[in-house]
């Protein structure tokens, strides 16, 4: 059986997820790029990984659909022999004050960000090989607590709680479970709908005086996925020191 480590990256077609998929590909992982709907973007991510000498394939699945995600893990096992790392980067971030929040939008946020985390982590907990790692995505908004972010922040607070509890539940399995909590990062998810003035203001908040880049976050994920065996049950705030 191949000794190549295998990673599933949800939300792997764009933004931070794509940067993570490509970084793990360069680290020698065989990568399964999971995406929701943008097949062309996912195919580009696979092509980039393969051009750099890696192995990858893309598969569409709704992270909140347990049957669809079980199929993603099935395909990873069939193609590559098993799964070692799961990076759950998929998420949505609509913004609105609580008083004006459409509860249907809240339901969508909770379905994708909270149920999706439970669905993905459940499959990972059942299937990961010893020496594996689960990396969830929270957000520094759980510390920033900015107006308009209540639905998103609440969903990420749930992710943080689930992450730490799962790490404890996997005692004896030699599997680490951590979460990365990025600050403002230059992705479409963050930049869409924001004025240049607001983006400039947010970029000046960290002592490093810039927005994070997807590659900055991918570096943290690669650390947690591989060498960081003694980091477990933690939330790592990757925000340039903004708070």
Residue written as token pair 């992270």: 63
Residues 155, 62: Cα–Cα separation, whole Å: 17
DSSP SS3 for 181: strand
Which has the closest alpha carbon to 112: 96, 91, 95, 93?
91
Dihedral-angle region of residue 74 (phi above 0 means left; psi in -120 to 50 means alpha; beta otherwise): alpha
Catalytic residue, candidates 35, 149, 152, 237? 152
**What is the enclosing helix (H) or strand (E) of 22?**
helix 15-26
- Quick check: is 152 catalytic? yes
| Residue 75: other Cβ atoms inside 10 A | 16
DSSP SS3 for 34: strand
Residues 44, 166: Cα–Cα separation, whole Å: 33
Residues 233, 243: Cα–Cα separation, whole Å: 21
| Residue 71: other Cβ atoms inside 10 A | 15
Residue 105 tokens read as: 């939008």
Spacing of C-alpha 227 from chain mean position? 18
Q: 47: which residues sit within 8 A by CB, 6+ positions away?
A: none
**Residues annotated as part of the active site:** 152
């Amino acid at each position: 059986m191949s000794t190549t480590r295998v990673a599933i990256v949800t939300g792997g077609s764009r933004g931070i997820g794509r940067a993570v998929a490509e970084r793990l590909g360069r680290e020698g992982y065989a990568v399964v790029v999971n995406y929701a709907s943008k097949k062309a973007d996912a195919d580009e991510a696979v092509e980039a990984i393969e051009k750099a000498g890696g192995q990858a394939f893309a598969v569409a699945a709704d992270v909140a659909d347990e049957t669809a995600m079980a199929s993603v893990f099935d395909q990873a096992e069939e193609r590559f022999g098993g799964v070692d790392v799961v990076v759950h980067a998929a998420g949505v971030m609509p913004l609105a004050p609580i008083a004006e929040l459409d509860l249907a939008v809240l339901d969508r946020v909770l379905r994708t960000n909270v149920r999706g985390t439970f669905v993905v982590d459940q499959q990972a907990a059942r299937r990961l090989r010893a020496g594996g790692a689960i990396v969830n995505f929270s957000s520094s908004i759980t510390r920033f607590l900015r107006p308009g972010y209540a639905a998103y922040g609440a969903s990420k607070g749930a992710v943080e709680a689930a992450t730490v509890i799962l790490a404890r539940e996997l005692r004896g399995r030699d599997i680490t479970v951590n979460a990365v909590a990025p600050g403002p990062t230059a992705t479409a998810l963050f930049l869409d709908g924001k004025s240049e003035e607001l983006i400039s203001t947010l970029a000046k908040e960290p002592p490093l005086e810039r927005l994070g880049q997807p590659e900055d976050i991918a570096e943290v994920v690669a650390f947690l996925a591989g060498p960081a065996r003694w980091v477990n049950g933690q939330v790592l705030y990757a925000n340039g020191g903004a708070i």
